[in-house]
A and B are shown apart, each in its own frame.
Chain A
C-alpha cells in the first residue's frame, strides 16, 4: 500500500533526527566555506525528502541516507545558480554552527584531507570512519566488497600521507 504523505513526513522527520550526523559529516567532508556548508546541508535535506517515495526498504535506512547525501554532494557543484536562487528567496530552515571543529583541530585537518582526495576515495574513507561494514560500503557505492577493500587501502594510504606527523602509517 502506498504511504500517505503524513506517514512519509513522519518517517522523514525521524530520519533527519536520527541521521543528522551522517548528513553533517558528508557536508563537512564536501564543503569548506560556511555558506557552502549550509547550502549543501539544505540541499541534502531536500533531496532526502525527494527520495522518500522511492525508498522501498530493500536496503538499510542508513545506506539510503548515505547514498542520497553522497550523490547530492557529488552533484552539488553543478547547481550553483539554483543554490543562489534558493538561498536568496527561502528562509533558512536548517543550518550548521560555525564553531565547528574549533575544539578539535585534528578533525578539521581530517576533513580537509578528505576534501582534497578524489571523490571515490573521499567517500569510502568517510564511510569507513563512520564504521560501516564492507557490505554496507559496497551497497552505498554500488561496487563489490573486494573493490571496497582495494579502494579503502588506497584511501588510507593517501590519508596517512596528507596527515603526515599526525597519523601513523597504515
Chain B
C-alpha cells in the first residue's frame, strides 16, 4: 500500500459515529470544572502557607504554657521564612505555567523549566526548608540540656531530630530520583529531538532528506 492510500483511509475514518458527547452534561461540567480548578490551585497554595503560619501561634502557645526558655522561639523566624518562601515561589511560578494553547515546543520547554525548578527546590530542601527549622531546634535542645545538665537527654533528642530531618530529606530526594528525573528526561528527549531537527535543516543538496520532502 502507498502512503497516500493510507492517508486517505486515515482521513475517511468515521469519527462522528465513534464519539459520544453529552452537550448539556459537558457544559455543566466545564462551568463547574473552571471554578473547581481555580479553587483547587488556590486551596493547595493556601493550605501550605497556612500550615506554616498556624505553627507560629501553636509554637508560641507551647512555649508560654510550658514555660520554655527563649531559644524555643528561635524557630518562629524559620517558620515565617518558609511561609514567605512558599508565597513568593508560587507567585513567581504561577506566571510560568504552560498554557494548553502553546505550540508543542514552547509547552515542552515550559514544562521542562518547571520540572527543573521543582528538582532544584527539592535538591536544596536542606537549605530553605529543613535548616531554618532544624538549626533553632538544635540550639534550643543544647541550651535546655546545658541548663538542666542532661547530656544523654540532649544526645537522644538530637539523634531523634536528626533522623526525622534525614527522613524528610531522603523522601524528597527519592521523589526527585523516581518521579521528577524520569519526567525531566522524557521532556528533554522531546525537546532535543525537535531542536536537533532545527540544526539539521542546513540546506544540503546531497541530503536524502531534502529529496524525500513531501507535501500535504
Shortest CB distance B95–A (Å): 14
Q: Is B156 an interface residue when CB atoms closer than 8 A count as contact?
A: no
> How many chain B residues touch the partner (CB < 8 A)?
56
Per the bound structure, the CA–CA distance linking A95 and B26 in Å amounts to 11
Per the bound structure, the CA–CA distance linking A100 and B6 in Å amounts to 17
Does A153 lie within 8 Å of B1, measured CB to CB?
no
Does B101 lie within 8 Å of A97, measured CB to CB?
no
Chain A, 140-170, CB within 8 A of any chain B CB: 140-144, 146-154, 156, 166-168, 170
Per the bound structure, the CA–CA distance linking A137 and B103 in Å amounts to 10
Binary contact track B68-96/A, C-beta < 8 Å → 1, others 0: 00000000000000000000000000000
Does B100 lie within 8 Å of A110, measured CB to CB?
no
Interface hit among B51-59, B135-143, B162-170, B196-204: B196-204
Q: Is B215 an interface residue when CB atoms closer than 8 A count as contact?
A: yes
Q: Is B99 an interface residue when CB atoms closer than 8 A count as contact?
A: yes
Q: A49-B33, A93-B26, A110-B10 are in contact. Are A142 and B104 (CB under 8 A)?
A: yes
Does A68 lie within 8 Å of B10, measured CB to CB?
no
Per the bound structure, the CA–CA distance linking A104 and B102 in Å amounts to 34
CB-contact partner of B1 in A46, A94, A167, under 8 A: A167
- Max chain A CB contacts within 10 Å: which of B28, B213, B216? B216
Chain A residues with CB under 8 Å of B21's CB are: 16, 20, 45, 93-94
B residues adjacent to A (C-beta < 8 A): 1-3, 6-7, 9-11, 13, 15-23, 25-30, 33-34, 37, 98-108, 111, 183, 189-190, 193-194, 197-198, 200-201, 208-210, 212-216
A residues adjacent to B (C-beta < 8 A): 9, 12-13, 16, 20-21, 24-25, 41, 45-51, 54-55, 64, 67-68, 70-72, 74-75, 78, 90-97, 99-101, 104, 106-107, 110, 118-121, 123, 128-134, 139-144, 146-154, 156, 166-168, 170
- 13 further interface pairs, Cβ-Cβ under 8 Å (given A51-B99, A106-B1, A142-B102): A48-B100, A51-B100, A54-B99, A55-B101, A67-B102, A93-B25, A107-B9, A120-B197, A139-B103, A144-B201, A153-B208, A153-B214, A167-B1
